[in-house]
Amino acid sequence: MQATGFIEPDWPAPANVRAAVTTRTGGVSAGRCATFNLATHVGDGPEAVVENRRRLRTALALPAEPAWLTQVHGREVAMLPGPLPAAADAAVTAGEDVVCAVLVADCLPVLLASRRGDRVGIAHAGWRGLAAGVVESTVRALGAEPDQLVAWLGPCIGPQAFEVGPEVRAAFVAQDVDAAPHFRAGRAGKFLADLPALARRRLAACGVREVHGGDLCTHGDPVRFFSHRRDGETGRMAALIWLNGDAPRLST
């Protein structure tokens, strides 16, 4: 069996905040979903997904099954613990041992934690979600002062590979004219968009000042990452964050 690979955020989150992003290594899926696909909607065998999710729980010693969302590139936020909305692209919790998760394969996972270690959140931020306001919705749902949050941007399609049409640039510039420099002219009227930079702008506008990560490109690393833009039908990684009830919290 291959070793299961994970990426841990390099950020100054409190000790009781746990987070990880999976890679495509260490599961049982085959073909385009090889090997550590965690999504049920991409044509993978159900038995393989069940086994991969079991391995995920074991490898990370998760305190509970992740709250798997039905993602639609929107801005709805699931408030956990509690019933899941019919569709959501973000989740927040102030409860211990509640695992927030999003599935990604080029879209940007945005992880958030309070400096007090009393709440965490995560957002699935492709360009549609960013333009729709999923980052802003997640920051609001956390209910903490934005300058008391720290953020980490996980692996996503990088600015050298994310080619978009002029309508995508227009959607961002219509809301924020200073977003224009994050779209570089590409081929035949297309643009190369810098998804992490656009997310940083959104976070800064919300008042989140400390942002880390954003330098891992899914498209350019087929060994570690699934990429929908590169491969078409493919698997999904998971980004996860939770408050560890066994770890000490910061004093308040």
pLDDT in tens, 134-180: 999 999 999 999 999 999 999 999 999 999 999 999 999 999 999 99
CATH entry, 6-157+210-243, from 3.40.190.10, 3.40.50.300, 3.60.140.10, 3.40.50.1820: 3.60.140.10
What would the pLDDT profile of 210-241 be if each residue is shown by its tens digit? Answer: 999 999 999 999 999 999 999 999 999 999 99
pLDDT at 165: 98
pLDDT level of residue 1 (50, 70, 90 thresholds): very low
Look over the chain and give the mean of its residue pLDDT values, rounded to a whole number: 96
pLDDT at 5: 84
Whole-model pTM: value is 0.96
- Sorted by where each begins, the domain ranges of the chain are 6-157+210-243
Contact 90, 80 (CB under 8 A): no
pLDDT level of residue 248 (50, 70, 90 thresholds): low
Q: How far is Cα 101 from Cα 64, in angstroms, rounded to an integer?
A: 12
Q: Where are the beta strands (DSSP E) in 1-129?
A: 6-7, 17-22, 77-80, 90-93, 100-104, 108-114, 120-125
Q: Read off the pLDDT of each residue in 168-197 and give the average, rounded to a whole number.
A: 97
pLDDT at 8: 97
Sequence-distant (6+) residues with CB within 8 A of 107 are 73, 124, 125, 126, 129, 156, 157
Choice among 4-8, 14-18, 43-47 with the minimum mean pLDDT = 4-8
Q: Give the torsion sign (CA, 27, 29, 33, 39).
A: negative
